[in-house]
Structure 1
């Protein structure tokens, strides 16, 4: 009996030693428990314990219609996105061309832009006084703006395709690169043409990658907030915009909580489906070779690139142009007045104050999210715990508006009475940023040669010394990318901040939204100028992150 216990003891000790790194995940666990699990249980409590919650949601056809429209627009957005993402994936996976890495990075810029900037950019492009209508009305015989899709479902769909097509194309291209090109070559030898090979061989093999991209785009569009709020108008509200409306305007928190609960069910289902599809996608160690260009494929590739670059550049260029465009021609007035509160009201601080607030919140977010996310990455990878990694990623399954609602419901009483504190904004931003930090650092940790740790251990170095002397220098690039992503995430966060930010501490996205809601060309001009500044900051941080990745991996553009 004693001997059996003694025989088991080494294995138990070894197992405990393997699990010891999970202590590094504790700070992330505490953050999630206090500021994700606790607010979510508050939403559940509001939904089930008060009148007008789940019951009203089922009985009132108004909310059923909102739920149906949310599902419909997300599904159609995903389908339209795939129509452009598949040709992009074909270019990225099968062909080589000059500046490929740079063009790929440019096409990814819309995905990292804050959704409110995307909405303002499309307003500047296709609005009644936007660039497109301005150019068209200069044609003789056209006196009225011919493009009238603002505040329609088409504006929503177009904006969703704009900021999702590149990430969907990357996902599909990754799967495409892993396909065995010999199968296509065999089909060609049997007489199958390019179209037949694509539809009968390539497309079925890409099924999991296509569905993974579609499910991810569906998730993003299902929880889309800024685009729907600004481009769709009240007649095209989704669950996300309805949660905002019920919380801040109608003060019906039970209804808002029930809507948030329904949204959580769908988003977590989409996350589970996406994860399983990615796991089911076969991985090949050998990437397929690029296909030589011929005249037809070169013409087709040039047309696809031109269309995608136009879709990417037109809204952003229109935003910049309109921010300098005044009633009497081009002017710097909107930028020079960023330090003026033209409203003179407490709810409207000078735009430059919003810029300062955003920078302060972003720096604080990096200071919180970077160490917590890095420790969680090290702990989960060292302990080989997929459960710990999955738990840290949970905030990605909760929309920012739902997170803000949870804070409104629960953060107004001890021990977490933080509703009046600007620190609540930093906490919300950090919750959203930590998963990105963990993913970035985890990916780099897994790519390190484990023999480095073994060699350090053989030379007598303990775990801490091994990390700081051997691994930390190799992780600097990944940690730098994570810091940049955290900063950009905080700068662009809109949904949660709109619900919880104090009126005297607005961020740039919140200030843009407030100025857009006021009449007058000067208010609109200042919103355009702030949107341009925010676009420049987030775009620059993305390119910095891309540069850090290239330096780390030795890639070239």
Structure 2
């Protein structure tokens, strides 16, 4: 069958239409319902819920605190991350890859694991419990910085490693000092990545849910947690919808700002291969490296290390008591044991991956195959990125408001959780698959065809290995993301479908040493499973490149 045949074109359009229908039903419809519920009553425009956000002092405090914690956390991530970007992208030292992997770990871990780690560090009986930071703005900011530190280091460091440093060397030769050279030469070169990473970190902090829910206390409610409270506790759906509208507007503004200010201008510097020109250590650079390694150890290593230690710590010493309790229903007081919750999480993640990978591949193939680059495919590629900018909490609220009428009465259905997780994971699959598939050299296809290979043979020999690599990488990330998904799941979970992140949150909210110990052990278990997935991904990636 020819690659440009009408039958193949029709098949691509049919698959893209099916993906668009799924996305419209399970994302656009719920989100639009949230928006209309917030501003319409019986078909009449009513802006009173939105004006209530400004007139109600309690809601004003929530909004102000949301902006405050996101702004302070973003500033902290930049202050610590930019020096880290220099140290880990420009300095040559042994163990550099291991350090980069360690500092990235919190970002790829479920938020409940990071939150649990800081509860273990700052909570009662924790090493820093005497500071009484648990439940404070400081605890939230520290956890947010830990979670997003890698965004700044990786993003800024990647650009820093690639720019041509000859201009900076020339500036120093002409007598400019290090500070002046950095401000006049280096900073303009890395400014796009600084702006981009700052906006991304602000976005993550502004829409943070799990960390706030676990680490927050009285007076630390954010828009996300207030949406959850208004829906699940007060049943005030109009206020929840109004808060969701405000959040969508802010997120949209941040994304537009990133598109406007985060791009590189026409004077962008020359680029060079990554890893070339690393600087050898001297006394000053060694001091810079040591300081940044200390930051990584305290910011990342300490919370995760304390989490592991406390999962083995009992009143009678070190032991496996809390791990044994994970399979005992009576010891935790949950409707499902943590081990059953882990089984649920693995099952949901597998089903979500089975949904997200085909969806992502359909869209990726449509926008990368030249004959399939239609306007509808490009629109679909952009539309499927919207879940990255819309809160999972808002998505969960949308499901409660929309999926309550046959034939889509899914609010009590087992399938709703993996569907929600698939919607959250699909953008990552698309972003991973598009560059991998696009990397296929058309000349390989042409050469195979000239040698007499049938189109089906060309596809099997040239395209299929590339697609297989995209499937493996996309599936791994989709599985890891679905495994730790917390925001949307918190709205639609039922006692018999409890996931491990939900179980950890509930255990942390219950009194008693056993519940706390089980929460620590569950968090370590979830961290271990996620880390194992990432290790397998890394090995697969290395194997595909060899």
TM-score (ref. length: structure 1): 0.90
What is the aligned partner in structure 1 of residue 237 from structure 2?
A: 253
Among 73, 76, 79, the alignment partner of 1:80 is 76
- How many angstroms does 1:451 deviate by? 1.3
Mapped pair 1:476 → 2:471: no
Among 368, 372, 376, the alignment partner of 2:359 is 372
Among 17, 22, 31, the alignment partner of 1:26 is 17
Moved more, 58-67 or 316-325: 58-67
What is the aligned partner in structure 1 of residue 509 from structure 2?
A: 517
- Paired with 1:189 and 1:15, the residues of 2 have a C-alpha distance of 64
What is the aligned partner in structure 1 of residue 310 from structure 2?
A: 322
Distance 1:283 1:310, change over 3 A: same
Among 535, 538, 549, the alignment partner of 2:527 is 535
Distance 1:18 1:208, change over 3 A: farther
Distance 1:178 1:49, change over 3 A: same
Give 3-state SS (helix, strand or coil) of 2:510's partner: coil
Moved more, 518-527 or 214-223: 518-527
What is the aligned partner in structure 1 of residue 279 from structure 2?
A: 291
Contact 1:340 1:350 in 2 (8 A): yes
Unaligned runs of 5+ in 2: none
Moved more, 208-217 or 481-490: 481-490
Contact 1:377 1:442 in 2 (8 A): yes
What is the aligned partner in structure 1 of residue 330 from structure 2?
A: 342
What is the aligned partner in structure 2 of residue 123 from structure 1?
A: 119
- How many angstroms does 1:291 deviate by? 2.4
Contact 1:209 1:277 in 2 (8 A): no
- Paired with 1:529 and 1:84, the residues of 2 have a C-alpha distance of 30
Contact 2:414 2:497 in 1 (8 A): yes
Give 3-state SS (helix, strand or coil) of 2:410's partner: coil
- Paired with 1:16 and 1:470, the residues of 2 have a C-alpha distance of 21
Give 3-state SS (helix, strand or coil) of 1:131's partner: coil
- Paired with 1:88 and 1:450, the residues of 2 have a C-alpha distance of 40
Among 273, 278, 292, the alignment partner of 1:304 is 292
Distance 1:369 1:460, change over 3 A: farther
Unaligned runs of 5+ in 1: 1-12, 134-144
- How many angstroms does 1:15 deviate by? 12
- Paired with 2:530 and 2:55, the residues of 1 have a C-alpha distance of 43
Among 398, 405, 408, the alignment partner of 1:406 is 398
Distance 1:168 1:20, change over 3 A: farther
Deviations 1:401-444 (A, max 9, x none): 11100001111112311001010001000001111111111121
- How many angstroms does 1:26 deviate by? 2.8
Distance 1:92 1:448, change over 3 A: farther
What RMSD over aligned residues (CA atoms) do the two structures have, in Å? 2.3
- How many angstroms does 1:285 deviate by? 4.9
- Paired with 2:441 and 2:88, the residues of 1 have a C-alpha distance of 29
Deviations 1:33-54 (A, max 9, x none): 0001110121022101237632
Give 3-state SS (helix, strand or coil) of 2:322's partner: helix
Distance 1:43 1:539, change over 3 A: same
Mapped pair 1:352 → 2:344: no
Moved more, 518-527 or 209-218: 518-527
Deviations 1:70-92 (A, max 9, x none): 11211111111011111121123
Alignment of 1:149-168 (within 5 A): 149-168=133-152
- Paired with 2:187 and 2:9, the residues of 1 have a C-alpha distance of 43
Contact 2:82 2:153 in 1 (8 A): yes
Distance 1:188 1:24, change over 3 A: farther
Give 3-state SS (helix, strand or coil) of 1:421's partner: coil
Contact 2:331 2:514 in 1 (8 A): no
- How many angstroms does 1:279 deviate by? 4.0
Give 3-state SS (helix, strand or coil) of 2:326's partner: coil
Q: How many residues align?
A: 529
